[in-house]
């Protein structure tokens, strides 16, 4: 309890100092948020939050806070908790940063990222969240994911991206190593359509630990068609993919994913961002069948005061 509160207070002070140098012309905003997800094991996550930007200069420069209620549930069990976050974003012309530092009273939660704005975009990130399984919610286990990513332009239409990361699950000795790589071709740039080859691989140092999906290794390759386009002030996003997946204990099987999203234009001092997705590639939980499924819905609104 004391450790979480101390870390939260420290990050809150650092965030406030970082934004203190911004120009004084700012506004305030309310930011209601919703996150819903479920998986093949019947486990569900629900998060309801209300943020308040005390100082908001633009969509990527602000300082505020958020209160959130999180509920984790499954067959015959449920666990709920309240959280408090301090949130800030800012930076200069080359580097931008964002911090969501929070606590549930026992542990430090949230995320932090730093990325460059040049063509060879570099990003460093850190994420901490409760392990969304029965054991994780009951014991208050926190998973930590840290890594770095880079974009590599290869001409007018080709781009490659890469990511390396480490993930600790807070439940024992397992440390997961992540490798991801994408190759992107702008097939119809005027229409915002691209064709992508997405691949990822991870290896666990302690296989089959805890009640989350943890084979010795796992890999997948997906062919994806993606759309990102502005139309009458709306920004539409969609991606559909099909490929193959396997692990050390299972042979090759089909892998699918579908994602859709939209950002609305500003209307009477308000705008909305919504996303939804499905994938049948493994997430945290081990399912008893040969088919995985993970679904999510995310909604965030910004209302200028």
Residue 260 vs residue 248, higher pLDDT? 260
Instruction: Specify the pTM.
Output: 0.88
Buried b (16+ CB within 10 A) or exposed e, 223-236: ebebeeeeeeeeee
CA distances from 122 to 71, 93, 118, 161 (A): 34, 14, 8, 10
Q: Which CATH number goes with the domain that contains 111?
A: 2.40.160
β-pair partners for 279:
257, 294
* Phi and psi angles of residue 135, each rounded to the nearest 5 degrees, phi first: -65, -40
pLDDT digits (tens, 9 = 90+) for 86-138: 999 999 999 999 999 999 999 999 999 999 999 999 999 999 999 988 888 88
pLDDT digits (tens, 9 = 90+) for 140-161: 999 999 999 999 999 899 999 9
Provide the residue range defining the domain that includes 248: 2-21+29-304
Which tokens sit at 122? 């570099």
**295 pLDDT above the threshold of 70:** yes
Q: What is the distance between the alpha carbons of residues 41 and 137, in angstroms, rounded to a whole number?
A: 15
CA distances from 45 to 80, 100, 219, 253 (A): 10, 19, 25, 27
CA angle 8, 110, 137 (to 5 degrees): 100
Which tokens sit at 42? 């019947």
Does residue 153 contact residue 173 with C-beta atoms inside 8 Å?
Answer: no
Q: What is the distance between the alpha carbons of residues 295 and 293, in angstroms, rounded to a whole number?
A: 7
Handedness of CA 169, 170, 176, 178 (dihedral sign): positive
pLDDT digits (tens, 9 = 90+) for 6-33: 445 555 555 554 454 545 578 999 999 9
Does residue 109 contact residue 83 with C-beta atoms inside 8 Å?
Answer: yes
Q: How confident is the model at residue 197 (pLDDT cuts 50, 70, 90)?
A: very high
Q: What pLDDT does 9 receive? A: 52
Domain count, the chain: 1
């Amino acid at each position: 309890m004391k450790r979480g509160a101390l870390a939260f207070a420290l990050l809150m002070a650092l965030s406030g100092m970082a934004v203190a140098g911004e120009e004084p012309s700012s506004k305030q905003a309310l930011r209601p948020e919703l996150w819903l997800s479920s998986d093949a094991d019947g486990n569900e996550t629900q998060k309801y939050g209300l943020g308040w930007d005390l100082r908001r200069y633009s969509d990527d420069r602000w300082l505020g806070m958020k209160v959130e209620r999180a509920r984790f549930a499954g067959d015959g069990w449920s666990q709920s908790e309240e959280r408090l976050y301090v949130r800030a974003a800012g930076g200069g012309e080359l580097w931008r940063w964002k911090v969501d530092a929070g606590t549930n009273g026992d542990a430090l939660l949230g995320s932090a990222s730093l990325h460059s704005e040049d063509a060879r975009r570099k990003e460093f990130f850190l994420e901490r969240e409760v392990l969304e399984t029965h054991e994780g919610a009951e014991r208050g286990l926190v998973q930590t994911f840290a890594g770095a990513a880079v974009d590599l332009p290869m001409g007018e239409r080709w781009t490659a991206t890469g990511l390396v990361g480490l993930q600790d699950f807070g439940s024992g000795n397992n440390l997961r190593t992540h490798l991801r790589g994408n190759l992107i071709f702008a097939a119809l740039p005027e229409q915002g359509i691209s064709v992508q080859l997405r691949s990822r691989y991870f290896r666990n140092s302690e296989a089959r630990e805890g009640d989350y999906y943890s084979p010795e290794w796992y890999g997948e390759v997906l062919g994806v068609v993606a759309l990102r386009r502005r139309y009458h002030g709306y920004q539409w996003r969609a991606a559909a993919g099909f490929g193959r997946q396997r692990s050390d204990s299972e042979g090759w099987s089909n892998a699918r994913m579908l994602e859709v999203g939209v950002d609305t234009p500003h209307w009477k001092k308000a705008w909305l961002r919504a996303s939804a997705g499905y994938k049948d590639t493994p997430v945290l939980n081990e399912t008893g069948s040969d088919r995985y499924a993970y679904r999510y819905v995310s909604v965030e609104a910004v209302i200028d005061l």
